[in-house]
Amino acid sequence: MIESKRVKIYPANKEQMENQIVAEKDPELKKAYKEMLQGCIDHPDLWDWYAMWIIENENGKNIGNLCYKGLESDKNPEIGYGIFDEFQGRGYATEAASLAIKWAFNHPEVKAVEAESDINNAASQKVLEKCGFEPTGTIGEEGPRYILYREKVKTL
């Protein structure tokens, strides 16, 4: 578990991930959660890199989740995150993403962290900018790609 003043993040266990899959109504998110769980099962020694991470606020309320989308030796880890609608606009995504970045950079093999944002999601792009990410000039499956190199990490 990693904490700031208002947010804590931690990797979900198998049961929590299975419950999220059952509860999810959005087919794309359901598919993503299934892929995360399968990644955990296929790579139990890298569980935290494949798991859905739970984001809780200062009151212990689950307000969203994030993930790293795996860890491969020839690629930078990629983060993804989401805050439930009723908790958006309060800075939680920036705090959670900054904790996720710090956790990733606590692993010496990680030289950079990457992310994608939907081209129409200005709020997510602002989160990435606040965390120090820079556009790569490329487009991924979800939209513009961003990168943050270890040496450019901002103190948030």
Q: What is the CATH number of the domain that holds 14?
A: 3.40.630.30
Long-range pairs for 29-37: beta carbons < 8 A, 24 or more residues apart: 36/67
Domain count, the chain: 1
What pLDDT shows up at residue 154? 59
> 10 Å Cβ neighbour count for 64?
21
Compute the distance between CA of residue 7 and CA of residue 132 in angstroms, rounded to an integer.
19
pLDDT string in tens for the chain (156-residue length): 999 999 999 999 999 999 999 999 999 999 999 999 999 999 999 999 999 999 999 999 999 999 998 888 778 999 999 999 999 999 999 999 999 999 999 999 999 999 999 999 999 999 999 999 999 999 998 899 999 999 887 544
What are 145's strand-pairing partners?
116
What pLDDT shows up at residue 75? 84
Q: Which domain holds residue 78?
A: 2-152
